Every structure is written in structure tokens, then in C-alpha cells.
Amino acid sequence: MDVGGSSQQLESVGRIDRQDLVLATTARLAKFIAGLEPAARLPTEKELCERLGVGRSTLREAVRSLAFIGAVETRQGSGTYVGTQKDAPVEKLIGLALMLQRSSVQEIVEVRRVLEVEAVRLAAERHDQADQQALSAVMQEMRASIEFPEQAAGFDTQYHILLARASHNTALVHFLAGMRALLEKWIALAVSTPPVVSDIVSEHEDILKAVFVRDPERAAAYMIIHLTNAAERLFAVLGRDHSAANYISLLLPADARAPQ
């Protein structure tokens, strides 16, 4: 028996990453919950650990992820229950799905482009005075934050969400807002210096000028330029194959991200 060869083969397989285990547990638990009635009580923590073949800390991370998006509800001293539809914000479910599917930076950038180019076309046609005021205000805040990239990154994300809302298409808003947790993290990495912020401000202003004069095709053209530049900045920091699975903790409240 070639023990040495078997050992080398085993090493080539690699160890099971903890993040992969949490993701797999979350996906399996979500599938189990989908087959239950709303408000149904889940088995005890011990029973779930035995069924899923995982430890308590892994199970608790999975439960916290699902609780944060409203899929389950934990009641102190009573147990964990299936959430109701109103407890499951669509945006958080979309964000979780992207992470569970291990979507890559490249894939999310491509989807973002499809959604935002159409959103800006609709915004140019449908925006109202309230939308215009909100977008002008966030641009003013971003211009004032050019020397403070971390603050500017936050206004950058707000700008894109407000543009989506100006489309007056709730489905578009839900999908783009569902990507928000990832985009906030990634934009913060890419928007790192005042010159970069200055370039983004200029790109944003070009888009808004076209939106405010209700020129959808011009607005879409400027959005394509902006998203192409944004993608290159992001690829330079993360690469194209970086996985969304690395960011599942973003769905958890800040005080619940450390393993128990």
C-alpha cells in the first residue's frame, strides 16, 4: 500500500475552509426551512447539529445569517422559528443568494452593468423633483468629501441607490439594493485616493446632467463609461475571480459577527 502516495493525494485535496462550511450549512438550513410552514418551530440546536453534521459555532453563524434576513426568528428561552414573509426583506435575500452561490466579482460587475444602465435610462424618463433634489444633495456631499475617500465611498453607494429609485421601478431597486452590502465593501476598497474620488465625481455629474435633461441614451452612455472605469478600479484591487462568499458576515449585525 502506497501510504506516501495517498498522503500526497490527500494534501492536494486541501482542508475544508471554515467559510465554506458555514456557507454550506446556511444553504442546507435555508433549504430545510423552505419546506416548513411560517412560524413553525425548528428542531433544537442539538438536533440540528446532529442532522447537519456540524458543530454549534457553525450552526449559530448560519442561524444568525438567516435570522438577519428574516428567514428565521430566535426567541429567547423558546427556540428558533420560521419567519413570515414580512420578516424577510427582499434585498437581504438577494445579497445572501449572491454569497451562497459564490458569485465572482466579474459576475456581479456584469449584472450591475445590466441593471444600472437600464435604471439610468428609466431615471432620465421618470425622475421627479424629489429625486432630483435627493441626487443633487448627495452629489454636493460627495464633492465636499473629495479629500476624504472613506466618506466619499459611502456617498458613492447612496448615489447609485438614489438613481435606481429615480427609475420608479421597485424590482430594479430591490436587486440593486440587494447588492449594496457587497458594493459598499468593494467601493470602499476601490475609492481610495482623492484623485480617484475627483474622477468619480466628474463621471457622476456627467450622468446627472443627462438624467436631468431627460436624455436616456446619453445618460446610459455616460453610465457605461462610469461603470467600465469603476470595474477596472475594482479588478485592480480584488481581481476578477474574487468570491462574494468571503463577505457573508456583512449580512450580520456588527455585534454578532464574531463566532460564539
Compute the distance between CA of residue 77 and CA of residue 216 in angstroms, rounded to an integer: 55
Q: Looking at the DSSP assignment, which residues form a beta bridge with residue 104? A: 243
Compute the distance between CA of residue 55 and CA of residue 48 in angstroms, rounded to an integer: 9
pLDDT band at 129 (very low <50, low <70, confident <90, very high): very high
- For the stretch 160-213, pLDDT in tens is 999 999 999 988 888 888 887 777 778 788 888 999 999 999 999 999 999 999
Q: Which pLDDT score is estimated for 248?
A: 67
Instruction: List the chain domain ranges.
Output: 13-88, 103-250
Quick one: fold of 13-88?
Arc Repressor Mutant, subunit A (1.10.10)
Compute the distance between CA of residue 166 and CA of residue 134 in angstroms, rounded to an integer: 10
Domain 13-88 and domain 103-250, same fold? Reply is: no
User: How high does pLDDT run on average in the chain?
Assistant: 83
pLDDT band at 85 (very low <50, low <70, confident <90, very high): low
Q: Which pLDDT score is estimated for 50?
A: 92
Indicate the helix (H) or strand (E) that contains 12: helix 3-13
Indicate the helix (H) or strand (E) that contains 133: helix 129-144
pLDDT band at 56 (very low <50, low <70, confident <90, very high): very high
Instruction: Select the more confidently predicted residue: 91 or 178.
Output: 178
Q: Which pLDDT score is estimated for 12?
A: 45
Quick one: fold of 103-250?
Four Helix Bundle (Hemerythrin (Met), subunit A) (1.20.120)
pLDDT band at 21 (very low <50, low <70, confident <90, very high): confident
Q: Which of 243, 248, 246, 250 is nearest to 104 (CA)?
A: 243
- Helix%, strand%, coil% for the chain, nearest 5: 75, 5, 20
